[in-house]
Amino acid sequence: MEVVTALSDLRTRVGSARTSGDEVGLVPTMGYLHAGHVSLVRRARARCGFVVVSVFVNPLQFGAGEDLDAYPRDPEGDIAKLEAAGCDLLFQPSTEEMYPEGEPLTRVHVGLIGDDLCGRSRPVHFDGVALVVTKLLAACDPDAAFFGRKDAQQLALVRRLAADLSFRAEIVGCPTVRESDGLAMSSRNAYLSPEERRIAPRLFAALSTGAELVVAGEREPRVVVGKTLSVLAQEPRLDVEYVEVRDARTVQPLERLDGEVLLAVAARLGPARLIDNVVLHIDGTSVTVDAGEIN
């Protein structure tokens, strides 16, 4: 695996791969890689001849008072995991490389999708994500870019920005990877104390209860949200930010559950802000639940 830090080197290496006839796959990350990231890299490896992973803790997607300085980092561990997973090129830029003029004046704002759900409590977050993903797609111009479905709102936003800005990359959503007790893998799980770690799987338990109600025939969003909330409320240390059902593609509210439906939760637990979701594929009385996979 080769490691580059300059955008010009990223462009050159990807250009050579393309000249050799390889499809290029991009996996954007912020590092501190876990099994969820590794599964994205493996999916990229299975599909593309040349796999690029970016590791960049993007300051623009952290608001004031958020965890930019505390965000966990493990550059050596990341390299070992990426080599084992078959990454060809690690792009590891500095902040100066990505934002040479300092604070960018250019904004990428994916209105309706970015302002809602997590965007309500993290007002700068999705503009930061949208800008850095735009820069990565522009520099790498991959055939496919791989994102986890755990960040369902981010996935919807990236799909929309890629369509709006006519990037040719296919945006590939990949299953959430879970610990054996159901907790969705996240770099931020490192913030949890042993006691908080014991409580954290309740998010998935609550989503599973909500999903079971839909499988049993419930189609009223208010009822599904209420049942999911009631499971979360049994744990007083969980500070629930939202439970919502939305259209999974547009992230817009639904009057009745039908089609591809996102049931999503965000909650604070000690120092960590946790998010999780399941996607329900509803066609008449038939419901398939996409909850991801256990590692």
By CB under 6 A, name the binding residues for ligand PAF. 28-30, 58, 61, 129, 132-133, 151, 154
Phi, psi of 31 (to 5 degrees): 80, -165
Nearest approach in angstroms of CB 28 to ligand PAF is 4
* 17-29 CB burial, b ≥16 within 10 A, e <16: bbeeebebbbbbb
Query: What CA–CA distances, in Å, run from 78 to 25, 33, 83, 295?
Result: 18, 6, 9, 18
Nearest approach in angstroms of CB 182 to ligand PAF is 20
**Cβ nearer to ligand PAF, comparing 98 with 248:** 98
Nearest approach in angstroms of CB 158 to ligand PAF is 7
**Cβ nearer to ligand PAF, comparing 134 with 228:** 134
**Catalytic residue flag (residue 281):** no
Q: Which of 37, 109, 125, 281 is catalytic?
A: 37
**Cβ nearer to ligand PAF, comparing 110 with 287:** 110
Nearest approach in angstroms of CB 289 to ligand PAF is 23
Query: What CA–CA distances, in Å, run from 250 to 32, 122, 126, 144?
Result: 30, 19, 15, 21
Listed residue (167, 194, 189) closest to 178, CA to CA: 189
Structure tokens, 246: 């939305």
**Cβ nearer to ligand PAF, comparing 54 with 228:** 54
Residue with nearest beta carbon to ligand PAF:
28
Please name the residues in contact with 226: beta carbons below 8 A apart, sequence gap of 6 or more: none
Triad 147, 249, 112: Cα angle to 5°:
100
Structure tokens, 55: 């590791």
Cα(211)–Cα(224) distance, integer angstroms: 8
**Cβ nearer to ligand PAF, comparing 28 with 114:** 28
Nearest approach in angstroms of CB 20 to ligand PAF is 27
Catalytic residues: 37
